[in-house]
A and B are shown apart, each in its own frame.
Chain A
Amino acid sequence: MAGRGRIDLVGLFKRFPDGTVAVDGVNLAVEDGSYCCLLGPSGCGKTTILRMIAGHETPTDGEIVIGGENVVGQPPSRRGTAMMFQSYALFPHLTVRDNIAFSLRARGVGKAERYREADRVIEQVQLAALASRLPAQLSGGQQQRVALARAIVTKPRVLLLDEPLSALDEFLRLQMRSELRQMQRQLGITFIHVTHTQLEAVAVADQVVVMDRGRIEQSSSARGIYAEPKSAYVARFMGGQNVLSGAVAEAPGAVLRLGGPRGQHFLLAARERRPARGQTVYFSVRRDRVRLARWARDGAPPDNAVTGSVKAVEYQGTYVKVTLALAMAETAVNGADEFVVYVEEGGYFGDPLGVGDGVVASWEADEARLLAGGPAAGAPH
């Protein structure tokens, strides 16, 4: 039988009483003991999925299978899940120790025993010095640890985390992020973590699930999502990519030849897809895999290249972010008529570019990735 903490969502569907469809037929498998991130903009249904797994929301249709058992209809406490709420929802009238011992108290465990058990977990999250404080007397990071301790004291097989880092400042967020990952390895249980921050997801997760409007756009490893986005939506949402389009000029076998709007061609691997001649297709090119060179000529750019002028230069420490205004705006669907290149710092300062300089940005054919579908509207940068 599957592991105790394996989760299978089968045809999961949720329509709210006001008619909005929050989750629109989601199928997803999460391995036992893995760290899974549900990632997407607000309103994409990720939190609703989490709440349905926890039992705080009832699916309109579909199954939620945890460890081989369909848990739909069961109360939250019987599912072997524990949830960490977005703003932690620590009980303001209870001390840290009483907050953590709450689930034991609800089960009728005696005071001495539940405090012994709570103190063991308090030790585990390094809160011993704060055990008799009230939540209002804790910092954000400490509150998060209490919330974590309160959840894991129930010995769940699945921990559900709703935007666990959003209440923290930038510095603490990075620290707590790695603490969460460490804790997950230590406990060996399944973590499902909802976030709208791309870097957070790829930093902690074994499995990243990118969602849009109630559907899963792509589910894969962190590296798979970032380096091999399936659709224009994922490429744009994850960032670090330029999304371009072109009409298929010819498709000789495994290689597609797209006609660019200014006479140049884009070559890319067709993979398993065989788009028809004349069809417009989208592809992505990673921002850090593009070469920049000065370009003063008119006329068609070379193949696998676009031309434009430097619009903005941002120094980022290890690299320089150069934003180009494309000479052929209509090809770019990356939010605006822009094309972004990350230039390695040393190389850039050998011949620094100024705003307004004409440049050509080119890439190797095998750096271009064919994307499914067209440009998705409304994704952030």
Chain B
Amino acid sequence: MTNSSGNRPWTFYALAAFFAAYVLFLYGPMLCIFILSFQGQGGALVFPMRGFGLYWFIDLFTQVRTGDVIGAIERSLPLAFIVMALTVAISVASGMAFRQRFRGSGILFYGAVASLVAPGLVLGIGIGLMFQLLGVPEHWWSSAVGAQLTWTLPFGLLIMFAVFGRFNRAYEEAARDLGASPAQVVRLVVIPIILPGIIAVALFGFTLSYDEFARTLQTSGPTNTLPLEIWSMTTNVTSPALYALGTVTTAFSFLVIGISLGAIAVIQRRRFGRALPAKRP
């Protein structure tokens, strides 16, 4: 491993080229959409660029004929927040419960995680069917919430398992030893210590819900969520407004991820990052 940059083996270049291709494949299409969304009024769906401006962004939020974008956002955001809150609450509670083996814990765990491998489309159809069978009207805030939880909960659970796997139970014992009630142990010690993990679960809950498609398709009821709206637009909208929508939602996702990771980093730095100042001059 002491090779200088001058005589690297050929495999280095092969793997580097492979990685470059991968990155291009990953971000290239996104970049194309991003660029094409900033066209002028005469813009089309393909290169070359025709003019430059924010025309299609304005069009996106003003023209009704492009689809009910604003309405879809107004449904998708609260839906994502509901799913996020439920995912956090259930994952943290189960993470704490699963630290002990209890009767049926194995079956319960595999049952919860199995929905990761179940085909989402089929799962969504099943949930939709069940609601119809029971005569309960489907809505984004009822059946779609349930359908999306089958997707977000396994992730939340697995993250919390990892978090609690590293959690030193001596913290809880110390808190009890110092007279904390069970509720105080959770509120004053457990939650603050696992906060970075909770933020991670919230992030997953939010983003997985925000762009969920397969499970939501048959369960969102009479109105569309944002991904469903985008999908229906691809079939009848032929203007760069579609690209503008892609740019807006992608930017929003990155913003959410950035805020979450930033918060985790700040907490970690506060807690562990600062080196011992007393030790160094």
Which B residues are in CB contact (< 8 Å) with A91?
171, 174-175, 189, 192-193
User: Contacts A93-B192, A137-B276, A139-B278: A150 and B173 contacting too (C-beta < 8 A)?
Assistant: no
- Interface membership of A103, Cβ < 8 A: yes
Choose, from A60-68, A77-85, A312-320, the stretch at the interface.
Answer: A77-85
User: Contacts A89-B168, A106-B181, A139-B279: A56 and B274 contacting too (C-beta < 8 A)?
Assistant: no
CB <8 Å contact, A106 and B170? no
CB <8 Å contact, A103 and B179? yes
Q: Mark B247-281, 1 if CB is under 8 A from A, else 0.
A: 00000000000000000000000111011111100
Which A residues are in CB contact (< 8 Å) with B177?
54-56, 76-77, 81-83
CA distance A211 to B192 in the complex (A): 39
CA distance A75 to B168 in the complex (A): 20
CB <8 Å contact, B271 and A83? no
- From 161 to 189 in chain B, residues with beta carbon under 8 angstroms from any chain A beta carbon are 168, 170-171, 173-181, 184, 188-189
CA distance A154 to B195 in the complex (A): 28
CB <8 Å contact, A134 and B270? yes
* Size category, A interface: 20 to 34
CB <8 Å contact, B179 and A106? yes
User: Contacts A76-B177, A77-B179: A87 and B271 contacting too (C-beta < 8 A)?
Assistant: no
- From 132 to 181 in chain A, residues with beta carbon under 8 angstroms from any chain B beta carbon are 134, 136-139, 150, 154
Min CB distance B192 to A, Å, is: 4
CB <8 Å contact, B176 and A137? no
Min CB distance B144 to A, Å, is: 36
Which B residues are in CB contact (< 8 Å) with A56?
173, 176-177
CB <8 Å contact, A102 and B188? yes
Look across to chain B and name the residue whose beta carbon is closest to the beta carbon of A51.
B173
Look across to chain B and name the residue whose beta carbon is closest to the beta carbon of A130.
B278
CA distance A91 to B271 in the complex (A): 10
CB <8 Å contact, A89 and B173? yes
CB <8 Å contact, A138 and B276? yes
* Size category, B interface: 20 to 34
Look across to chain B and name the residue whose beta carbon is closest to the beta carbon of A129.
B278
Look across to chain A and name the residue whose beta carbon is closest to the beta carbon of B173.
A56
Look across to chain A and name the residue whose beta carbon is closest to the beta carbon of B185.
A106
Which A residues are in CB contact (< 8 Å) with B277?
137
- From 109 to 136 in chain A, residues with beta carbon under 8 angstroms from any chain B beta carbon are 134, 136
CB <8 Å contact, A75 and B176? yes
CA distance A103 to B272 in the complex (A): 24
Which B residues are in CB contact (< 8 Å) with A92?
193, 271-272
CB <8 Å contact, B176 and A76? yes
Query: Contacting B170 at CB < 8 Å: which of A85, A93, A107, A136?
Result: A85
Which A residues are in CB contact (< 8 Å) with B278?
137, 139
CB <8 Å contact, A103 and B168? no
User: Contacts A102-B188, A137-B276, A139-B279: A93 and B175 contacting too (C-beta < 8 A)?
Assistant: no
CA distance A137 to B269 in the complex (A): 11
CA distance A114 to B178 in the complex (A): 14
Which A residues are in CB contact (< 8 Å) with B168?
87, 89
CB <8 Å contact, A87 and B178? no
- Interface membership of A221, Cβ < 8 A: no
Look across to chain A and name the residue whose beta carbon is closest to the beta carbon of B189.
A91
Look across to chain A and name the residue whose beta carbon is closest to the beta carbon of B169.
A89
Which A residues are in CB contact (< 8 Å) with B271?
92-93, 134, 136
CA distance A55 to B168 in the complex (A): 18
Look across to chain A and name the residue whose beta carbon is closest to the beta carbon of B191.
A93
Q: Mark A225-269, 1 if CB is under 8 A from B, else 0.
A: 000000000000000000000000000000000000000000000
- Interface membership of A70, Cβ < 8 A: no
CA distance A139 to B280 in the complex (A): 12
Which A residues are in CB contact (< 8 Å) with B184?
106
CB <8 Å contact, B170 and A77? no
Which B residues are in CB contact (< 8 Å) with A87?
168, 170
CA distance A91 to B173 in the complex (A): 11
CA distance A77 to B188 in the complex (A): 17
- Interface membership of A105, Cβ < 8 A: yes
CA distance A265 to B201 in the complex (A): 76
Which A residues are in CB contact (< 8 Å) with B176?
56, 75-77
**8 A-B pairs closest in CB distance:** A77-B179, A103-B178, A89-B170, A89-B174, A106-B180, A93-B192, A106-B179, A76-B177
13 residue pairs bridging A and B, Cβ less than 8 Å apart: A56-B176, A56-B177, A77-B177, A81-B177, A82-B178, A83-B177, A89-B174, A106-B178, A137-B274, A138-B276, A150-B174, A150-B178, A154-B178
Residues of A with Cβ closer than 8 Å to B?
54-56, 75-77, 81-83, 85-87, 89, 91-93, 102-103, 105-107, 134, 136-139, 150, 154
Q: Knowing that A55-B177, A92-B272 are A-B contacts, what are 15 other residue pairs whose CB atoms are under 8 Å apart, sorted by A's residue number?
A: A75-B176, A76-B177, A77-B176, A82-B177, A89-B168, A92-B193, A93-B271, A102-B178, A106-B184, A106-B188, A134-B270, A137-B276, A137-B277, A138-B276, A154-B178
